[in-house]
């Protein structure tokens, strides 16, 4: 009820603050008999890790996890699987100047007003550090999806006003990880990197858009009415820090099409039912139709910047705030595995729910 759990069947509960002793996640509802590939989980966690390149924060988080329960000889036993990742490089002193001022567009003000208490040490639960829990749980979810040959891949499709104009079908998404901005189009990624470096030099920050694609989705995932697959994806994405928008299939631009253009006409392709176009984004009536799911997620520019800003302190006085510390000038590249993880959690949840559909 306090918002720290996600998923109805495959349920994760995350805990831990950014500058406390660590971040943990408990997965309840993972079926027994699943081989838990720890190398894969580590690999996913490394994709999220700060300090991967010069365009990310220099904060050095050693995200090695400990498995605390639920696995025997590498296999899930049907019990809760829990992971804990220690915070090693928290340097809580960095935040001492924030005790009495509210950082613009951060959660300082709202948390303090809501809870009557403020954990000034680095954002507490509002920090992106919490996404460690999501990436780990998402990696376990991906292990289940692999068994069904379902494949999720996300990439950066725009940074600021630099857009990758190719559709995902025109891109070789296997090259996404080859550059530090995670855009699979070389020409665009070079521009994006330059823009981020410039923003960094200026003490400023940038936003962007991540596109996520699901291939080999089975037909029938999603519950009609309130738990449509796109509704649960939208919630999952908007639950990620710094996100401001979600669109699936034709999205906002599709609102400008006519029905006769937008309708995805069915066709029989060698005995298998497909649609000629896929403006629906793989979902009709809230339920997957077997075509690719694809969606975009908007990330605002990071609110932590190094330019001096106006703000007020706790007593309501006008003050100047100049932050230092170690933060990303652009979180979008590092958010790619987080988007994938949240997508995986939604799909696994609905994959399991779908087992309940027929007598």
Q: Find the binding residues for its own copies in span 262-281 (CB under 8 A).
A: 262-268, 271, 273, 275, 279-281
Write out the binding residues for its own copies, residues 26-45 only, by CB under 8 A.
26, 28-34
Write out the binding residues for its own copies, residues 215-244 only, by CB under 8 A.
219-220, 222-228, 230-239, 243-244
Phi, psi of 252 (to 5 degrees): -65, -40
Neighbours of 244 (CB within 10 A): 10
Contact call for residue 111 and its own copies (CB under 8 A): yes
- What is the spatial distance between Cα 61 and Cα 89, in angstroms, rounded to a whole number? 6
The closest of 205, 197, 219, 206 to 158, measured between CA atoms, is 206
Asked whether 179 and 193 are in contact (CB, 8 A), the reply is: yes
Contact call for residue 109 and its own copies (CB under 8 A): yes
Write out the binding residues for its own copies, residues 64-103 only, by CB under 8 A.
66, 68-70, 72, 75-82, 84, 102
Question: In 45-75, which positions are buried (b, 16+ CB within 10 angstroms) versus exposed (e)?
Answer: bebbbbbeeebbbebebebebeeeebbeeee
- What is the spatial distance between Cα 76 and Cα 73, in angstroms, rounded to a whole number? 8
Write out the binding residues for its own copies, residues 294-353 only, by CB under 8 A.
296, 298-305, 307, 309-312, 316-318, 352-353
Contact call for residue 62 and its own copies (CB under 8 A): no
Binding mask 185-214 for its own copies (x = CB under 8 A): --------------x----xxxxxx-----
Which residue is it, tokens 């665009």? 188
**Smallest separation, CB 126 to its own copies (Å):** 4
**Smallest separation, CB 325 to its own copies (Å):** 14
**Smallest separation, CB 47 to its own copies (Å):** 21
Contact call for residue 124 and its own copies (CB under 8 A): yes
């Amino acid at each position: 009820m306090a918002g720290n759990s996600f998923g109805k069947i495959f349920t994760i509960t995350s805990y831990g603050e950014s500058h406390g002793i660590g971040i943990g996640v408990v997965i309840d509802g993972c079926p027994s008999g699943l081989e838990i590939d720890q190398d894969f989980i580590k690999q996913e966690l490394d994709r999220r890790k700060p300090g991967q390149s010069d365009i990310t924060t220099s904060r050095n988080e050693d995200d090695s996890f400990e498995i605390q329960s639920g696995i025997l000889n590498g296999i899930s036993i049907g019990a809760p699987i829990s992971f804990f990742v220690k915070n090693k490089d928290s340097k809580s002193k960095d935040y001492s100047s924030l005790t009495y001022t509210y950082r613009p567009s951060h959660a300082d003000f709202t948390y303090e007003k809501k809870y009557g208490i403020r954990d000034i040490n680095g954002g507490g639960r509002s920090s992106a550090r919490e996404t460690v829990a999501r990436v780990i749980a998402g990696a376990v979810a991906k292990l289940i999806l692999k068994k069904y040959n379902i494949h999720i891949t996300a990439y950066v499709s725009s940074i600021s006003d630099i857009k990758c104009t190719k559709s995902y079908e025109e891109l070789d998404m296997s090259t996404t990880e080859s550059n530090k901005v995670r855009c699979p189009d070389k020409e665009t990624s070079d521009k994006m990197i330059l823009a981020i470096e410039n923003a960094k030099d200026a003490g400023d920050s940038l936003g962007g858009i991540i596109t996520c694609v699901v291939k080999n989705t089975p037909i029938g995932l999603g519950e009609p009415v309130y738990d449509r697959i796109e509704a649960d994806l939208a919630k999952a994405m908007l639950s990620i820090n710094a996100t401001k928008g979600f669109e699936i299939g034709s999205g906002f631009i599709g609102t400008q099409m006519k029905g006769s253009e937008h309708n995805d006409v069915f066709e029989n392709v060698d005995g298998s039912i497909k649609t000629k176009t896929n403006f629906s984004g793989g979902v009709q009536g809230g339920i997957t139709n077997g075509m690719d799911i694809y969606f975009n997620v908007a990330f605002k520019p990071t609110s932590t910047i190094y330019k001096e800003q106006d703000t007020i302190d706790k007593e309501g006085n006008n003050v100047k705030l100049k932050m230092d510390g170690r933060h990303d000038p652009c979180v979008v590249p590092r958010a790619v595995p987080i988007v994938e993880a949240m997508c995986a959690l939604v799909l696994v949840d609905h994959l399991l729910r779908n087992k309940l559909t027929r007598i």
